[in-house]
Amino acid sequence: MPLDKIEYILEKAAGAALYEAEAIIQKAESLKGLTPEETAVLLQCEDKDVTGLICKTAERVKESIYGKRLVLFAPLYLSNTCVNNCLYCGFRIDNQELGRKVLTEEEIRSEAEALIRDGHKRILIVAGEDPKESSIEYMERAIDIIYTTKVEHGEIRRVNVNVAPMSIEEFKRLKSAGIGTYQLFQETYHIPAYKKVHPSGPKSNYAYRLTALDRAMEAGIDDVGMGVLFGLYDYKYEVLALLYHAQYLENRFGVGPHTISIPRIEPAANAPLSSSPPYAVSDDDFMKLTAILRLAVPYTGIILSTREPQELRDRLFHIGVSQISANSRPYPGGYTMDGEHSGDEGQFSIGDCRTTQEVIRDISRDGFSPSFCTACYRVGRTGKEFMDFAKPGEIQKFCLPNSILSFKEYLLDYGDSEIRKIGDEVIQKQASQIEDIKIQAATIKKLEEIEEGKRDLYF
């Protein structure tokens, strides 16, 4: 990846005329994505009218590919023991005040049961980097426990994974365990900044982390997710670096990233950098970079966590975000621990504290279809096959009906009377918008079958 060219590209783009930015935005409507040079022009443009046009176009691009659906998931933290000393993270080894915990097998099952009762079907397992406590054997056992846990109608149907980089052989074992997406954030692509904020531990090895997605894909994991922690370095540099990394993966493996995550630094206990990020990103710039990523890499899922406050999250759902966490507890045992929590035990602080049902109620009222769909993973519509549908916008013919079907399950099994009323109105409206008459009829039939007690129906 030509990271050494990014500063030059940004400097050159600073002199672009407004009409150039407008032409680039118009091109983005074709769903073909943007080059780094084109993306740099949009990043450097400070004109408010152009920024508004970027956001409006991003909303149309997102709807062209994914429609009005938002995929929901929750993180399940297996451990907070870590041998790294990342200056922004509450789990850093120098945080001597943190009570360390690694979930037992029974605790993993209890956490999975709690998430199932909350209505979740897809989760992201997270663990601190600790070779002794979070081995590949431990991960395999945890994944098996989660998949075999059932609560009445409910179950976790897809486990995605965000854990430390592995060898190719370990990644092969992770794939054999049945994961969906392997997710890893580079945190920052700027090498001097990376070295400064990762002073010790295995994570201080920039190159080993950078090449982790290569090893995962070489091992046969064809859905990978990338991301940076915005605030560690200039967000414009990071966006271009993400784009270069995405292009690199596509050129080498024929498949770009399945997801891009966009976390910002949030306060964490005893993490000196977290309360005063060296390159803090404003809300306006955060919205702008989210919209630009949607235009630059239109096929990818953009993930937004509960780090952000409700009002900002609700705005971002419209301009590019397609996957969201809900009711997150960023520490091991968070879904089953009793009592009040200060937040000091978390990897980072939470901005959106709504329950899963509150999130679903609010996004439904806002016109979105909440989705717990896991169909693509389970029918093999992953990697290149997924991209072949996503890039021209054809994945929506699966996304829309599958979101409706999974939402109907949620309403029947976990919704109260208020959310059922709101949800049924959303489903009726969304079903009427399915363009393929045969798929529309089949969706209505499957909805009737779900009403009769069937579950796990999808296209």
Residues 298 and 406 in one domain: no
pLDDT at 217 > cutoff 60 = yes
Owner of token pair 């964490």: 268
Q: Is residue 354 part of a domain?
A: yes
Of 313, 344, 375, the one marking the end of a domain is 375
Residues 144 and 169 in one domain: yes
Residues 323 and 445 in one domain: no
Region label for 265, one of left (φ > 0), alpha (ψ between -120 and 50) or beta (otherwise): beta
pLDDT band at 341 (very low <50, low <70, confident <90, very high): low
* Best CA proximity match to 124, nearest among 208, 69, 184, 211: 184
Total residues found in the chain within this entry? 459
Structural domain that includes position 438: 386-451
Residues 183 and 274 in one domain: yes
* Best CA proximity match to 133, nearest among 176, 202, 203, 82: 82
Q: Is residue 11 part of a domain?
A: no
pTM, 2 dp:
0.95
pLDDT at 198 > cutoff 90 = yes
Amino acid 384: pLDDT: 86
Q: What is the tens place of the pLDDT at every residue in 404-414?
A: 999 999 999 99
* Best CA proximity match to 355, nearest among 333, 331, 335: 335
Residues 346 and 258 in one domain: yes
Q: Is residue 285 part of a domain?
A: yes
**CATH code, 350:** 3.20.20.70
Amino acid 94: pLDDT: 96
pLDDT at 252 > cutoff 80 = yes
According to DSSP, the β-strands at 69-77 and 323-325 are: parallel
| Helical (H) or strand (E) element with 212 | helix 212-218
Task: State the alpha helices, DSSP H only, in 67-190.
Answer: 105-117, 136-148, 168-176
Q: Is residue 280 part of a domain?
A: yes
Q: What is the tens place of the pLDDT at every residue in 40-80?
A: 999 999 999 999 999 999 999 999 999 889 999 999 999 99
Residues 212 and 72 in one domain: yes
Rounded CA-CA distance 418/432 in Å is 22
Number of domains in the chain: 2
pLDDT band at 338 (very low <50, low <70, confident <90, very high): low
Q: Is residue 49 part of a domain?
A: no
Task: Please classify residue 270 by burial: count the beta carbons closer than 10 Å to its beta carbon, then call 0-12 exposed, 13-18 middle and 19+ buried.
Answer: middle
* Best CA proximity match to 141, nearest among 130, 152, 125: 125
Q: What is the tens place of the pLDDT at every residue in 158-188?
A: 999 999 999 999 999 999 999 999 999 999 9
Q: Is residue 28 part of a domain?
A: no
Three-state secondary-structure class, residue 123: strand
Of 375, 394, 418, the one marking the end of a domain is 375
395 or 324, greater pLDDT: 324
Contact 406, 422 (CB under 8 A): no
Residues 302 and 398 in one domain: no
Q: Is residue 47 part of a domain?
A: no
Residues 342 and 445 in one domain: no
Residues 430 and 325 in one domain: no
Residues 247 and 361 in one domain: yes
E strand map for 266-356: 301-304, 323-325
